[in-house]
Amino acid sequence: MQPLTDSEAKDLALKANAIRQTIIEMLVEAGSGHTAGPLGMADIFTALYFRVLKHDPKRPDWPERDRLILSNGHIAPVRYAAMAHADYFPVEECLTLRTFGSRLQGHPERDMLPGLETTSGPLGSGLSQAAGMAYAARMDSKKFHVYCAMSDGEHDEGNAWEAIMFAGAKRLGNLTGIMDRNNIQIDGDTEDVMPLEPLRDKYEAFGWHVIETDGHDIPRFIAACEEAKAIVEKPVLILAHTIPGKGIASIEHDYRWHGKPPSRAEGDAFLEELRSERRRIDGV
């Protein structure tokens, strides 16, 4: 893949901003949901859906598509928003988040929305599912790549480490984990609740190749994904350092926004802040 041009990088930054605006709009309309994580992962999901993944919104079940597993299902708003902007479904449908009968539930449900690979909710399970898919793909000589987006806090769960050991033992070079290293979870900072460091050393000890990157630098993240695909002898972890609540200065790094939606007044203020940032990116 060729490096991004300045124009392409700008377009992706504008797309990430639009996705953040959609996240705020859907959370305000729902009156419930998670704010910090979805905003923090908007740049990564923009990169995935608009540059990295091999996929086709018109054929969501295309057998050769790359698989994207969302392990930390509570950040579903960012996936829904990215999918909508990538033309899987109308952006307006995002406003049905968490409503009865909606395809966009608080945690993704595979049978309800084409383009989802798994139903997620129980933290720590996604990497096991992704490792199983990657192992099966290798057995069947399939060429698609498996990505697993996951939180840092879910590494408190023992089953996450079982998957890490399995993937390392089986040398799953077709598997890339993407950790949202935002250093918060619902009860506070990860290193206060249950210290996780040294995360890089732990993954490497289990046979993984680790790439650390700025999760808000879209070109660097895309380059990390390209490097990951070039590593064929072991699974890869992209340790993406992110800011929870990214884009809204008053809530960045504040763990209390992990599972808190904005009120309508807060949402209006947040949207104006994002629109101002969009004008800055656009040079207006």
**CA proximity to 167, closest of 141, 198, 195, 129:** 129
From the number of C-beta atoms within 10 Å of its C-beta (0-12, 13-18, 19+), residue 276 rates as exposed
In a domain, 91, yes or no: yes
Q: What is the pLDDT of residues 32-57, one digit of tens each?
A: 999 999 999 999 999 999 999 999 99
Question: What are the CA-CA distances from residue 42 to residues 18, 85, 207 (Å)?
Answer: 9, 12, 29
Number of domains, the chain: 1
CATH number at residue 256: 3.40.50.970
Average pLDDT over residues 21-33: 98
Please report the pLDDT score of residue 245 as a whole number.
98
Is the residue at 87 inside a domain? Answer: yes
pLDDT tens, residue by residue, 178-208: 999 999 999 999 999 999 999 999 999 999 9
pTM of the model: 0.96
Domain assignment of residue 32, given as a range: 6-282
Any domain includes 1? no
Per-residue pLDDT, averaged over 230-251, amounts to 98
Q: What is the pLDDT of residue 2?
A: 75
101 in any annotated domain: yes
Kindly state the average pLDDT of the residues 199-221. 98
What is the Cα–Cα distance from 275 to 188, expressed in whole angstroms?
30
Q: Would 124 be classed as within a structural domain?
A: yes
Look at residue 284 and tell me whether its pLDDT is greater than 80. no
State the burial class of residue 182 (Cβ atoms within 10 Å of its Cβ: 0-12, 13-18, 19+).
buried
Say if residues 160 and 127 touch (Cβ distance below 8 Å).
yes
Residue 65 forms part of a structural domain: yes
